[in-house]
Amino acid sequence: MKKVLVVCGNGIASSSIMLAGLKDYLDEQHISADLEKASLMTCSDDFCNDKDLIVSSTKLDRPGIKTPVIVGSGLLTGIGEEEVLEKIKKAILS
């Protein structure tokens, strides 16, 4: 099962909203994934590189993080949400 980390600035509101929307979508698609949320502050290289995918509310500019990152702001705004969800689905299933 793929491990997906959902991150936002404080690891509270935005990541919770993104995680809930992502969980609903994955359930509808019958896709299993281990979802976890965190703040950008706790996103150390080791912690993040232990995941298969990161969905972030903003661009992550950390050269030590090698895990693929998808900016998931569309899950918050609704703008481009389907495109973001398709990218996440493709990353999880690959």
- pLDDT per residue of the chain (94 residues) written in tens, 0 to 9: 999 999 998 888 999 999 999 999 999 999 999 999 999 888 899 999 999 999 999 988 889 999 999 999 999 999 999 999 999 999 999 9
**Closest among 47, 38, 73, 46 to 59, alpha carbons compared:** 73
Catalytic residues: 8
Query: Which pLDDT score, from 0 to 100, does residue 89 have?
Result: 97
Q: Is 69 helix (H, G, I), strand (E, B) or coil?
A: strand
Dihedral sign for Cα 7, 12, 13, 16, please: positive
